[in-house]
Structures are given as C-alpha cells and as structure tokens.
C-alpha cells in the first residue's frame, strides 16, 4: 500500500519486480540505507529510498559485487564528503559494464554467424558436412 508517508514493502516489490524477501535481504546486508518505519513498525519507502533502490538494483543487475554496493551505500551515508569515492566506484563499474558489453557484442556476432550458417545449410539442403539431406521417410 502507498500512503502519503511512503510505500509499503509489498507495493515496492510490485513496483520494482524485486521480491519482498530480496528487499529485506538488501536492507539486512547493508545494500540499502536504513528504511524509515511508520508508527506501525512497517517499512515506508519514500521517493528518495525508491530512487536509491533503483540504483542499487541496476548496480546488482549489471554485476557489481555485493561488497562494492555495500561500500557505495556506506559512502552515501557520509554525504558530499564521499562524492569522490562514490564516483570512483561507479567509474570502475562503468568500465566493467563496458567490457562486458564488448564481450556480449563479440558473442552475439558468433551466434549470428552460426544462425546464418545453419540458415544457408537449410536453404541449400545440406548437412554440416556439406552432404545433401534426404527427407525422412514417413511411416505408414
């Protein structure tokens, strides 16, 4: 449920696609700053918390190690004094993402080449050794 004091954990789970258990684990493991609690003791995620959660999700989805995310969160809690450290973490992670993108581009090229190879064989009626493929006889 979303109220003027923030969204509850189930609403945040639905909005983000993360499970309630994942959200709780992120908080327990220090991957999120402490989430404010309402008078009823339940977590209340304001817009700032949701924005931070979106960043953390992107960092994890793109392969940032848990320890680095935790270091980023701890640095963020220090405010402006940690901008340099946070920028260094993000810059290093950006480089890792770019390396991974290049690997994926190369891998995609190999997959596309193999698809083109098989398409050519099928169009020419050949097997992988270049021999003609004979249609299987149907059983009566």
- pLDDT tens-place string over residues 51-78: 999 999 999 999 999 999 999 999 999 9
What's the confidence (pLDDT) of residue 1? Answer: 52
pLDDT of 137 > 80? The answer is no
- Six-digit token string for 83: 């901008």
Angstrom distance (rounded) from CA 74 to CA 52: 13
3-class SS of residue 125: coil
**Lowest-confidence range among 43-52, 75-84, 131-140?**
131-140
Angstrom distance (rounded) from CA 88 to CA 128: 50
Strands 2-3 and 6-7: antiparallel
- Taken in order 94, 95, 101, 107, the sign of the CA dihedral is negative
Angstrom distance (rounded) from CA 64 to CA 56: 9
| pTM for this entry | 0.80
Contact between 88 and 94 (Cβ < 8 Å): no
């Amino acid at each position: 449920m979303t109220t003027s004091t923030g969204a509850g954990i189930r609403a945040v789970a639905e909005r983000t696609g993360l499970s309630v258990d994942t959200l709780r684990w992120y908080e327990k493991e220090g991957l999120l700053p402490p989430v404010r609690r309402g008078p009823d003791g339940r977590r209340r995620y304001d817009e700032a918390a949701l924005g931070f959660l979106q960043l953390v999700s992107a960092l994890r989805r793109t392969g940032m190690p848990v320890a680095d995310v935790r270091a980023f969160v701890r640095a963020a809690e220090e405010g402006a004094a940690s901008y340099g450290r946070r920028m260094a973490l993000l810059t290093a992670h950006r480089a890792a993402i770019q390396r991974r993108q290049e690997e994926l581009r190369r891998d995609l090229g190999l997959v596309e080449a193999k698809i083109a190879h098989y398409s050519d064989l099928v169009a020419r009626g050949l097997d992988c050794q270049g021999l003609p493929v004979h249609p299987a006889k149907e059983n009566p």
